[in-house]
Amino acid sequence: MSVVSESGPAALADVSRSFDRNRTLVQDEISEVFQRVDPAQVAALVTELRLADRIFVTGAGRSGLVLKMAAMRLMHLGLNVHVVGEITAPAIRSGDLLLAASGSGTTAGVVKAAETAAAQDARIAVYTTNAGSPLAKAASAVVLIPAAQKTDHGSALSRQYSGSLFEQVLFATTEAVFQSLWDEDAASPEELWQRHANLE
């Protein structure tokens, strides 16, 4: 089936109704899962962020993109943040934190990064759907996001496609974490803006 179709008035009305229905679907699913994220788990992760000398973020695909956005916000707060895989990222060491995201908790590159961090006595904090995963077991702080995994195509947890709900709630959670840290920091938006990229 092609996504290209007629664009007459009837077709546009169908798209409008479909969008309205699916906007509600996405909003409702995000709200329901976001409300089930445990604040105590988030508090443990925030403690790890506070105590870390440096923070390294890693994730694959869309989860990785979300954590890159989170890294930018942490940088705005003045934290020392690196994105794993970027050419300027240094070696991780004791006193550092690896902040990782994987819905399944089994993504090979992310699990390998956690193993390397652990071997260097760095701390690990993760966002995942799977408490029994290798990634979660390696971590000192785990935030469970109770969404469907991307390969769970028949899940009753979400009508959205392949991991979308996990990634959406991951983004919302990282934004709430940023806001919570900013509440404590008491810096003005103008102070944070001084750290924003100016080579864009």
Q: How far apart are the first and last CA of the chain?
A: 40
- Sequence-ordered strand ranges (E) for the chain: 55-59, 81-83, 97-101, 123-128, 141-144
Per domain, the residue ranges of the chain are 9-193
Quick check: 68 and 82 in contact, CB under 8 A? no
pLDDT tens column, 37-88:
999 999 999 999 999 999 999 999 999 999 999 999 999 999 999 999 999 9
Taking residues 87-114, report their average pLDDT.
97
Task: Kindly tell me if the per-residue pLDDT of 101 is higher than 90.
Answer: yes
Mean of the per-residue pLDDT values of the chain: 92
**What value does the mean pLDDT take over residues 127-143?**
97
Q: In the annotation, is 32 catalytic? A: no
Query: How distant is the alpha carbon of residue 9 from its chain centre?
Result: 39
Beta bridge partners of 101: 59, 127
**pLDDT surpassing 80 at residue 154:** no
Short-list 144, 178, 148, 146, CA closest to 163:
148
Q: Of the ranges 43-47, 75-79, 175-179, 182-186, which one carries the lowest mean pLDDT score?
A: 182-186
pLDDT tens-digit profile of 9-41? 788 888 899 999 999 999 999 999 999 999 999
For residue 115, CA distances in Å to 50, 119, 139, 175 come to 22, 6, 10, 27
Over residues 173-182, the mean pLDDT reads 97
* Gyration radius of the chain over CA positions: 19
What pLDDT was estimated at residue 200?
78
Asked if 44 contacts 149 with a C-beta cutoff of 8 angstroms, the reply is no
Residue 63's alpha-carbon distances to 18, 128, 161, in angstroms, are 27, 10, 14
Q: Is the pLDDT of residue 155 over 70?
A: no
Q: What is the pLDDT of residue 153?
A: 54
84 SS3 class: coil
- Non-local (6+) Cβ contacts of 51 within 8 A are 97, 123
Active site residue: 32, 167, 191, 200, which one?
A: 167
- Kindly tell me if the per-residue pLDDT of 94 is higher than 50: yes
Fold of 9-193: Rossmann fold (3.40.50)
With 70 as the cut, is the pLDDT of residue 3 above it? no
How many residues comprise the chain?
200
Q: What is the pLDDT of residue 2?
A: 52
